[in-house]
Amino acid sequence: MKSGYRISFGLILLLVPALLCSCNIPDPVPTVTPTPDWTATPVQPTATATPFPTATPTPVPEFLEIDSEDLAGTKLSLKFCLDGKEKSTLEKLVEAFNEENPEGITVQAENILSVDELGEQVVSNRTDIVIADSSWLRSLNTEGGLYLDLSAFLNDQNLSLSKEDIQPLMPVMLETEKQKESYYALPLWADPAFLFYNKTWAIELGFPDTPFDLASFAEQVCAAGKANYQDKDESKHGTGGWIVSSDPEDVMSWLLAFTQNGETPGDIMRSSTGNLFEDTAAWLRNLYDNGCAWISRVKEPYDYFANRYSLVYSGTYSDAERQFNAFDQSEEHSFDNWDLILYPSRSGKEKTDPRIYADIVSIAIPDRSDAKAANAAWHFIRWLFRNEHAAELSLAALGWPVQDNDAVTKLYRNSGEDKLYQTLSFRQYLANSDNGGNWLTDQLILSDGFAYIFNPSAKPEDIADIWEQIGSIIAEVDSVNHLSDISSTESTILKGVNNETQP
């Protein structure tokens, strides 16, 4: 579920005079405090032993004590904002649950046409279950208390996801929704960021191996840029390498490529130094300055990629169908073979594992203080993770499944989505972690700041100041955005910020 709005980075331009001034602040000289001489005082024995306090048993949540037979006739509301095949697949799964579940629970599924309206439904307690993008769910819950903590269900001996024919969630997937040892949602599928890579053209350029680190990636995209500069077709001059993208998932993917100490996306956004951002942005700006990366003249990359204007571009598997169609229509390169590859790893003394960023779509139970409804909602969630139900939904969404077993693998292998199936082994490299409740807004500011790095008026030496201004704008917007009090999700996010789209 992508947001259709962008936050302008124009605020940085207003602060350009400030960026041109620098203040040298001397390091403070620490004051030496003399260490006092401590005199040992003998400890007098206590005449009366202190009794140990009596442990107070942790009360069992009421929603865990509901008997299955008491759920008969329970009606639940499921709200979501999906389109395409995932919408119809979810609706079919809900129908199957209503027919199959022995408890007699009925789920009424309703597709909400806008995230604004969906947000109002959730905040005003008009739904029992909600499915949405994880970062969007968190943006509504910055004050806490909006969703039920599912940890009690996950840890319950009888209701956990390790019973009957339920396949447990992959730990790396479950980790995406972990917030301080609690789970206010569970992931349904992941939409990972990839690089589309023209394998046929790379081999012709003299590179039989897929680039796995930054050095080999730079070598290949620079070779592609050089080849197009020498092409007799002048429209290809200045093209060939990676198409610059500032979409949030692409920016995070590059930042993860430059991490060295296992930082998570949340760590990156909370960093006060900016060194990682500066290293990443400087390296990519250098590719751009040397003709190894270029800014597309149109929004969609499919025709450019199919006609060898670009060796590599950033995308997700949802782009695959349109990419196949573009190759079918290519007059010269319709038989080129292309792959989905991972963002390269930072080179070092030892080969490092890749890091993958993905958008997560999750399911949550709004806390309506109705124990029976909560228990019934959990029965639906357990059913959704039974057999291959959840995998059917993730496949319809062209995303990664959150469970891993032979049946799920077979489902993907037989789906006809061969390139997606071939990426399933990459799930172990998922690097998502808690980005905080403000990630929905923070990512847009980060994205616009990153785009400004390639602005003709920006210079490489401005990158440190750009990162500083990104942090300042994020702090200012976060301070005025109280998303738990929204009446309109998107309008609140844009409070105090001009809504202008960067070219």
In order of their start, the domains of the chain are 63-192+358-426 (3.40.190.10), 194-355+438-487 (3.40.190.10)
For residue 294, give the DSSP letter: E
Nearest to 319 by CA among 302, 294, 299: 302
Looking at the DSSP assignment, which residues form a beta bridge with residue 360?
190
Amino acid (1-letter code) at residue 51 = P
Nearest to 338 by CA among 372, 385, 363, 301: 301
CB atoms within 10 A of CB 467: 22
Cβ atoms of residues 484 and 140 within 8 Å: yes
Query: What pLDDT, on the 0 to 100 scale, is given for residue 51?
Result: 47
How confident is residue 472, by pLDDT bands cut at 50, 70 and 90? very high
What is the Cα Rg of the chain in Å? 26
Entry pTM: 0.84
Query: What pLDDT, on the 0 to 100 scale, is given for residue 57?
Result: 55
Mean pLDDT score of the chain: 85
**pLDDT mean over 297-323:** 97
Q: Where are the beta strands (DSSP E) in 298-413?
A: 312-315, 338-341, 358-364, 400-401
Measured in degrees and rounded to the nearest 5, phi and psi for residue 182 equal -120, 160
Residue-wise pLDDT for 15-64, tens only, equals 333 333 333 333 333 333 343 333 334 444 444 444 444 444 557 788 99
Looking at per-residue pLDDT, the higher value among 490 and 133 belongs to 133
Give the end-to-end CA distance of the chain in Å, rounded to a whole number.
22
Cα dist. 479→142, 189, 398, 482, 490 in Å?
Answer: 12, 31, 36, 8, 16
How confident is residue 432, by pLDDT bands cut at 50, 70 and 90? confident
Calculate what percentage of the chain has a pLDDT beyond 90: 69
The C-alpha atoms of residue 99 and residue 101 are separated, in whole angstroms, by 6
Nearest to 379 by CA among 75, 58, 172, 61: 75
Query: What pLDDT, on the 0 to 100 scale, is given for residue 503?
Result: 31
Q: Give the containing element (helix H, strand E) for 179.
A: strand 178-179
Residue-wise pLDDT for 375-428, tens only, equals 999 999 999 999 999 999 999 999 999 999 999 999 999 999 999 999 999 999
**pLDDT mean over 93-110:** 97
The C-alpha atoms of residue 143 and residue 195 are separated, in whole angstroms, by 36
The C-alpha atoms of residue 11 and residue 498 are separated, in whole angstroms, by 8
Query: What pLDDT, on the 0 to 100 scale, is given for residue 348?
Result: 59
With a cut of 80, say whether residue 1 has pLDDT above it: no
With a cut of 90, say whether residue 373 has pLDDT above it: yes
Query: What pLDDT, on the 0 to 100 scale, is given for residue 164?
Result: 67
Query: What pLDDT, on the 0 to 100 scale, is given for residue 304?
Result: 98
